[in-house]
Amino acid sequence: MSEPRVFLLPDLGEGLTEAELVSWHVSVGDTIAVDQPIAEVETAKSAVEVPSPYAGIVAELHGKPGETLDVGKPLISVTPISVGAAADDAAPAPSPDQPEVEPAETELAEPKPESTEAETYREEEKAGSGNVLIGYGTPGGHGQARRTRARKTAVALAEPEAPSSPTEDELALLRTRVPGKLGAVISPLVRRMAKEHGVDLGALHGSGESGLIMRRDVEAAMRTAAPTAEPEAEPAEAAPGPVVEPVETRSVGDQDRDARTGLSIASRTPVRGVRKAVAANMTRSRSEIPEATVWVDVDATGLLELRQRMKANGAEIPGLLSFIARFVTAGLKKFPELNTRIETAEDGSQEIVGFDGVNLGIAAQTDRGLVVPSVRGAEKMSARELDAEIRRLTDVARQGKATPAELGGGTFTLNNYGVFGVDGSAAIINHPEVGILGVGRIIDKPWVVNGELAVRKVTELTLTFDHRVCDGGTAAGFLRFVADAIENPQSLLADI
């Protein structure tokens, strides 16, 4: 048998140097195919499934769930299966009760019709495959990808008249479809569902071909099982993509006592994944950026009345945040100092780098922590276009499906913390950007209009900026520009 081939954890994009191993989809001794998902890892950007570039038998798993692995370090060792070994394994003729295997696709012939169960399994794979690494692997999660299969070996192509013998993929399929065993589960989605809901796969007999455990089998077991403990919150199964495991909180006993306070320590939660990345970025921002903050109360009544008139006319109404985003991009054109970045050379010299365009970051709170997907080329978009892209980005970010490219590359950030019911916040700049604008809740407040007291819809805008790139006059000018646009929105919304 050949020497094992070692697959190193690949570059996950955007300069990331490490990833946390969330779970393995394979075990030592399993037979895997090219592009088969072998592990789920979580980076500072998103959770992705790592596909194998090799086919063969898993010889070693280099890491345990919960460990942080460095890029370029061994992830998995795979022993290739030789053609002769595959033929020896396939020597006994399959009995009538053995499962029929799927023929492998080749470049020379069209694939034969597949069984209903195989097609059902493929649909489940589509629903369960999430973000895979850019550049290789099987795409999925969008209902457009189809499962690829390895080509037949050169021996099989050279001797078409010989009786059809199982290929490596077919042998792998035979080995995994063992009724009543964990190996009878091929789909990572089904494995995860069973794990999260406490379903014992070893006790299930699958309804699929030759006992293959399908998603419906796990769902049936979930419905019939009597609850033995307080139910956990169900994950969002309707959303395709990788299921992100909750942050592990380790309970400790009373004997673990804090020396400073004298109190018993109730739990210890590792700082890792997105939380670790946020902590590192915020620490760097605070230590490197001399920030300052300005704020202003804004009468948003005119903007709300404009949206009501649009609604009365039957027009499609963008969200309030998309209008403010439109005002922000216009303000950054007028005050480009806030759409820059500070670069420091090795000799300590610094440059202010300006950009020809705006990538507007939108701060979004997710189950994995705070992430900032960016709307690229936001200065070219109308309020309606911004609304559609903001909704798409926040949706994929909350599902854990945002790509590293979508979660990076921002030049300025807009943070709507008003959705949490607060009025203001001295936000921390998203390094290496130089500014962040926060929007508070809109509430009724007494306001003087034309010398008379009135009740108006008022919000608070807060701008935190890097004092190295501009002074207070520029920051105040930008903030006042956005505030004036909110109070008199018609002047900037001719293109919506």
Residue with tokens 């080749």: 106
Angle, vertex CA 326, rays to CA 321 and CA 331, nearest 5: 120
Secondary structure in 3-state letters for the chain: CCCCEEEECCCCCCCCCEEEEEEECCCCCCEECCCCEEEEEECCCCEEEEECCCCEEEEEECCCCCCEEECCCEEEEEECCCHHHHHHHCCCCCCCCCCCCCCCCCCCCCCCCCCHHHHHHHHHHHHHCCCECCCCCCCCCCCCCCCCCCCCCHHHHHCCCCCCCCCHHHHHHHHHCCCCCHHHCCCHHHHHHHHHCCCCHHHCCCCCHHHCCCHHHHHHHHHHCCCCCCCCCCCCCCCCCCCCCCCCCEECCCCCECCCCCCECCEECCCCHHHHHHHHHHHHHHHHCCEEEEEEEEECHHHHHHHHHHHHCCCCCCCHHHHHHHHHHHHHHHCHHHCEEEEECCCCCEEEEECCCCCEEECEEECCEEECCEECCHHHCCHHHHHHHHHHHHHHHHCCCCCCCCCCCCCEEEECHHHHCCCCCCCCCCCCCCEEEEECCCEEEEEEECCEEEEEEEEEEEEEEECCCCCHHHHHHHHHHHHHHHHCHHHHCCCC
Per-residue tokens: 435: 């500014």
Residue 431 falls in the annotated catalytic set: no
Cα 71 to Cα 43, 74, 213: the distances in Å are: 11, 9, 34
| Beta strands across the sheet bearing 47-51 | 47-51, 37-42, 18-24, 68-70
Residue type, 35: D
Taking CB atoms within 8 Å and a gap of at least 24, the contacts of 257-264 are none
Of 25, 197, 431, 467, which residue is the catalytic one? 467
| Residues that are catalytic | 467
